[in-house]
Structures are given as structure tokens and as C-alpha cells.
Amino acid sequence: MPAPLRCLLVDDEPLAHTVLRTYLDRLPGLVTWAGSCYGAVEALTLLRTTPVDVLFLDVDMPELTGLELLRALPQPPAVVLCTAHAAHAIDAFDLGVVDYLLKPIRFERFVKAISRLQTGLTAPSALPPAAAMPTASPAPDFIFLKTDAGTERVRFADLRIVEGYGNFVKCYLASGRMLLTAETMKQMESQLPAGQFMRTHKSYLVNLSSVERLSGNVLLVGPREVPVGNTYRQEVLRQLHLR
């Protein structure tokens, strides 16, 4: 029987540590805990002295992101990326990760990742055929949003308006619901497909397919009015094929 895999978790969220540690404890003999780090810089230091077989790695962390850490390691161990954002998938697979787990991570999905690691599959062979070639992979059609109630999957087609709200953003859905999430406008813009969403104002992003009318410097998006800033007006006209 092969030796248990020595696993290191790098994530700035305490809940992620609790969840994965619980999962690892349910798989005695297959995996063992090599340590926990709450930031990428801390992980860089630990990896110099601690043997690690598998790195369970978050992406969005302060100081140094998970992908930046991965690029900085000359000989990284096997990596399983753990993130709430599907938008990082292509970058991750380009860097040779073994698996990509979307939060909230289900136990059965975690077991599948461990099975891939135990059988010694490398990143290309561990992926489904479509995912092994990023140029042929279908782009994700959804985003995961963290709210007070948990992490919710939202299809791009159902997201009409993103509005900046201090250190948060409001996401207005086609159903009439509004989700408040701790993302910045910059982060949201980077995760939404540019061909489907456009910036109309420093505080607004809109789904092009939901725009019903432009009147002066105001867009009607579903039942809501959205301002068009002077800086963005020409691009808005171009995106709407009005010039």
C-alpha cells in the first residue's frame, strides 16, 4: 500500500481549513496532514523545510495569490486548486494543477481528487479530454458569489446588473433578487465575460442582453435604470451597435 500523501493547505479562510481538515481525517491511511498556512508567503517558508506531496491551494489571498505562489515555486508538489471562482480554471490548468475544486467543496468531490492523486495521474491525464486542451474547453457560464447566506452559483444569463456599493457590490438578478457580495467592481469585471457584460459607469456593470433602451445617459436594464458615465458613453454606443 502506498504511503499516505502529505498534504499542506494554504488558504486565508479559517473555514476552509476546518472543512478540509475534517475531510482528511475521514481518509486515514490515504492522506496525512503536513501543515496549515494562512498566506502564500508563510507557505513559501514552510515548503523550504517540510516535505509535502500535495498542496491544496486557494487563489485569492492577500500579499501573494495562489497562482503567483505556484509560479514562484521552482519544483512545486502536486497542486489541487481550491477556489470559489471558476474564472481561474484555464490559468490553473496552464500551470499543471492536478485538480480544480470549486468552493463549497463537497466530500465526494474531494475524495475524487484524492483518488486522482493516489493513482499518480499527472495534470494532463487527470483532466477530462475537453479540459486538457484549454482552447477547446467550453467557458464557464456561471460565477460563484459569496453572501451572508453562503456561496451561491449564479449563471451569467441571470445576472443583469452589478452595482458598486462601498466595499461590496450589489448583484441584481433576472428573478428580481439582489445579492450583496464582498467583491470589488474590478474583481467582478475580471470574472465576467467581456463580450456579455460592459462597464457603463465607474459603479455599474450591465449584461448586454438585458439592455432594453438607451435614453440620453440612462440605460433601461430590465425594470431598473442605470447611468452611463461620460467616460464610458462611446464604448457603450459601440457595444450596443449604435455607432
Give 233 or 85, the one with higher predicted confidence.
Answer: 233
Q: How far is CA 133 from CA 95, 129, 141, in A?
A: 13, 7, 18
What is the pTM (predicted TM-score) of this model? Answer: 0.51
Q: Cα–Cα distance between 64 and 77 in angstroms, integer?
A: 18
Per the CB < 8 A criterion, the answer to whether 206 and 178 are in contact is no
Give 56 or 92, the one with higher predicted confidence.
Answer: 56
- CATH numbers and ranges of domains, the chain: 5-136 (3.40.50.2300), 142-239 (2.40.50.1020)
CA-closest candidate to residue 111, choices 43, 23, 48: 23
Average pLDDT over residues 101-119: 88
User: Which residues, at least 6 apart from 7, have a Cβ–Cβ distance to it below 8 Å?
Assistant: 24, 31, 32, 33, 34, 52, 53, 54, 55, 56
Average pLDDT over residues 181-187: 87
Per the CB < 8 A criterion, the answer to whether 37 and 46 are in contact is yes
Instruction: Using DSSP bridges, classify how beta strands 204-207 and 197-201 pair: parallel, antiparallel or unpaired.
Output: antiparallel
- pLDDT band at 128, cuts 50/70/90? very low
Q: Is residue 122 scored above 50 in pLDDT?
A: no
**Dihedral in degrees, nearest 10, Cα atoms 181, 140, 200, 206:** -70
Q: How far is CA 107 from CA 3, 28, 59, 219, in A?
A: 22, 14, 20, 44
Per the CB < 8 A criterion, the answer to whether 138 and 130 are in contact is yes
